[in-house]
Amino acid sequence: MIPRGMQMKLKWITIGFGLFNLAIIWLANGKSRLLAFAYEIPLGDKIGHFILIGTLALLINLTWPKEGLRIGRWPVFTGTLLLLPLVLLEEISQLWFPARTFSLFDLLFDAAGMLVLGEWLCRRLLSLKREPMPERASSSPGD
């Protein structure tokens, strides 16, 4: 479980990262030179999809760690279930933007990021047991 003091910070980090993702989508619609480096690196665009969507799923699931449903024997976080249709809609919407290209591979890397970071890593982080803080030795002037 996440300490109460960290929960509010995590919510703001998640909102900020979500807005960052929206800014990247907006920039990509105009083929921004700021994003050109991603296309110069082999698989850079795909790695970007994995990291950005996976990290967003991780943050959402850490902020709101609720299980939505089971697919077979695997439980899936509600955050992943809510993010999935948004990612699908965003990729499909690229069919109507002349500067963008619809890609099943982009969706594949989005899904991989959601599974690896949003589901697997999130479960590992939430299952960590918090160790008690070590007591500090008192340092009095007479010691």
DSSP symbols for 83-122: HHHHHHHHHHHGGG-TT----HHHHHHHHHHIIIIIIIIH
Q: How large a percentage of the chain has pLDDT more than 90?
A: 52
Confidence of residue 122 (pLDDT cuts 50, 70, 90): very high
Mean of pLDDT values over 30-57: 82
Phi and psi (nearest 5°) for 67? Answer: -85, 130
Q: How large a percentage of the chain has pLDDT more than 70?
A: 82
pTM greater than 0.85 (yes/no): no
Which tokens belong to 104?
């099943």
- pLDDT tens for 69-111 read 898 899 999 999 999 999 999 999 989 887 778 999 999 999 9
